[in-house]
Amino acid sequence: MLAAILTAIVRQALSAAPGFLVSAHTAGSGKTLLAKALAQLAGAKTPYVMANSKEEEESKKRLLALGRSATPAAIIDNVNGTFGSDSLNAWLTAETYSDRILGQSETVTVGTKLLLLITGNNVTLKGDLCRRVLTCVIDPEMEQPYTRSFPFDPEVYCKQHRLELVRATLTILKASRNAGAKCPGGYASFELWSETVRAAVLWLSAEGFGEYPDPLDVISKSYDDDPETSRLRRLLEVWHRVYDSRSMALGEIIPMPFVEGERIPFEILDEIAGEHGKINIKRLGHWIKKFSERYVGGLKFRRSSDRGGSATWMVQRG
């Protein structure tokens, strides 16, 4: 959350920045209110709020409209379940975004320099969004958080005190830079953000101003919760245990009755490429190809050769 606050103030000065997911375990915990407070810090008197769309084409149109609005902050509100979006992945790592206007042949290019916020209950990030969005979790530790009351309104406070909060943020970032603060490792696609915002968070902790973990620590948990990563990890581990580092054609690993020897359990393959009670080998091949060369748990798929016109795959330990 500290990283989100600092990012809100300086987002316009960064070529790219991660988005922030404000999640909670229970409705009424204050997710949207917190997102609106962050939007005020970013300079959005009336933040752009939009609902999530599970249709990728619709998401593209909404992102284009978002860019054309020139708002400094936007909120994708009340996301549920597993959340992933190829168009949002592209938006978060680019300085501009292009798409065709609905009903026209004209293509428009818009800027992406805005604070992107997402809210939802028990949201699980999916795929590449795991490293592009940093998760903050509100835990009121009570059954009915919507019954709480507070002596102030966070959104109103941020609006009324924005200038002094901007000054405090810039003081922190300048002090961190003057001290030569460095980060352990980089952050691909968000290098400038890492060298400024992330470095400042770690510097504050090192100087004793609070106990703040590395903002990137949440990425590992997001990947652990990601259903695609979970399926990939299970398949890699079982494949390596059963076949070691041998090259196998996909047709050879499909569980079949009356075939001796250990095979990969049907339920693991069914979750990836099941179709009417059988395993679709073509779909399984596309799925493995999509994740080939990606290490999970020290293992990865590598295409080894072609046998009779069919690709063979092996699992390699890094």
DSSP string, 122-164: EEEE-TTHHHHEEEEEE---SS-GGG---SS-HHHHHHHTHHH
Residues 153 and 267 in one domain: no
In a domain, 60, yes or no: yes
- Please report the pLDDT score of residue 258 as a whole number: 44
Mark which of 216, 243, 271 sits at the end of a domain: 216
In a domain, 94, yes or no: yes
Predicted structure pTM score: 0.83
Mean pLDDT of 286-291: 92
Nearest of 182, 230, 172, 175 to residue 202 by alpha carbon: 182
Mean pLDDT of 165-183: 96
Kindly give the interhelix angle for 281-291 and 266-273, rounded to the nearest 10 degrees.
80
Residues 210 and 170 in one domain: yes
Domain CATH code at residue 80: 3.40.50.300
The band of 53, judged by pLDDT with boundaries at 50, 70 and 90, is confident
Residues 231 and 201 in one domain: no
Mean pLDDT of all residues belonging to the chain: 91
In a domain, 221, yes or no: no
Residues 19 and 42 in one domain: yes
Residues 169 and 285 in one domain: no
How many CB atoms are closer than 10 A to CB 82?
15
Query: pLDDT, tens digit, for every residue of 95-113?
Result: 999 887 766 777 889 999 9
Mean pLDDT of 235-260: 81
Domain with 54, as residue range(s), is 2-216
In a domain, 143, yes or no: yes
- Please report the pLDDT score of residue 277 as a whole number: 87
Query: How many domains does one find in the chain?
Result: 2
